Chain A
Amino acid sequence: MEAVVFFVAAIGALGGAIGVIAMRNPFYSVLALIVHLFSLAALFLLLTSAFVAAAQVVVYAGAVMVLYVFVVAYVGGGGESAWEPIPGQRFLAPLLAIALFVELSIAVLGSALASLETHGPEVKAGFGDPAAIGRLLLEKFLLPFEASSILLLLAAVGAIVLAARRSPDNAPDAARVAEGDTPSKHSPTRLEGVSPSAPTP
């Protein structure tokens, strides 16, 4: 039974991953990644980590993917140009990926970790549930927890700074009037980080 669930979820995850890199339209890539994330959540459940699976579905497949969908809808999924800067990249890349996979597999299969061949030890009923993870996060890993919250705040501020409107056609008209009606010749809004000067009364 476990093997059946594993292989179904693995095929779903691998199919989603291949769909991400094979789809021409980025919108379909995002949808394929959602399939991948759900299948991966099933694998997490098989590994008796309920909280990580729930966080995967809620945070990743819920929140982060909605962000992706919004940006894809805003930017639009243009086709990629066929221009290749490196000749033969299309053939060298799969070779490199296969080499990486073989190398990692050799490292895993040839390792001396005897417990890799087991299912892992028997665990008690509450293994990996939210209570256990929360206790670990707030007691043993309090410092990484707080650091990651600060990192989230910094990322939010950085995203606002990066994506804020500073393009010249969105500048307020008052700035252009203050320059004496010379539109966009040396408009300061073209320069990075220079805000349009407000008219002084």
Chain B
Amino acid sequence: MNITWYIVFSSLLFATGVLGILLRRSPLVLLLCLELMLNAGNLALVAFSRMVGNEQGQVFAVIVMVIAACEVVVGLGLIVAIFRRRLPLNVDDLRELRG
């Protein structure tokens, strides 16, 4: 399979993640869609690393995984904090900072 297939497929996955971000309102599902987009980026990084024949892109992918884990931890902590304060778990209702 050509590298093009992988890159186009990764952009398809990224578009799917964007669609989820635009459609859903539960912060949990929004975090999952962020994971989708980060994984699409990972796939592109690994595919380009294979294209160049160099492992450095894979190191980038591993570090992106670390960033994703951090984002998940902080995001889930926020969701638990929102839930503890009896606030609605809906990103459209949590709009106090919008002014």
Chain A residues with a Cβ under 8 A of chain B: 2-3, 6, 10, 13-14, 17-18, 20-21, 26, 29-30, 33, 36-37, 40, 43-44, 46-49, 51-52, 55-56, 59-60, 63-64, 67-68, 71-72, 74-75, 77-78, 80-81, 83, 85, 89-90, 92-94, 96-98, 100-101, 104-105, 108-109, 113, 115-123, 127-128, 132-133, 136-137, 140-141, 144-145, 148, 151-152, 154-156, 158-163, 165-167
A43 touches B43 (CB 8 A): yes
Give me 26 A-to-B residue pairs in the complex whose CB atoms sit less than 8 angstroms apart, sorted by A's number: A17-B13, A17-B20, A21-B33, A33-B32, A37-B39, A40-B39, A43-B9, A67-B73, A68-B76, A75-B79, A75-B80, A78-B89, A81-B25, A93-B19, A97-B19, A100-B11, A105-B8, A109-B4, A115-B52, A127-B55, A136-B55, A136-B59, A137-B62, A148-B63, A163-B76, A166-B84
Q: Which residues of B contact A123 (CB under 8 A)?
A: 50, 53
Total B residues in contact with A, Cβ cutoff 8 Å: 70
In the complex with contacts A51-B62, A78-B89, A97-B15, A10-B46 CB distance below 8 A:
no
Complex: how many Å from CA A20 to CA B66? Answer: 21
The answer to whether B2 and A117 have CB atoms under 8 Å apart is: yes
**Are the CB atoms of A140 and B69 closer together than 8 Å?**
no
Inter-chain contact B13/A26, CB cutoff 8 Å:
no
B18, A152: Cβ atoms closer than 8 Å: no
Which residues does chain B contribute within 8 Å of A161, judged by CB atoms? 77
Give the 4 A-B residue pairs with the shortest CB-CB distance, closest first.
A21-B20, A104-B11, A93-B22, A162-B77
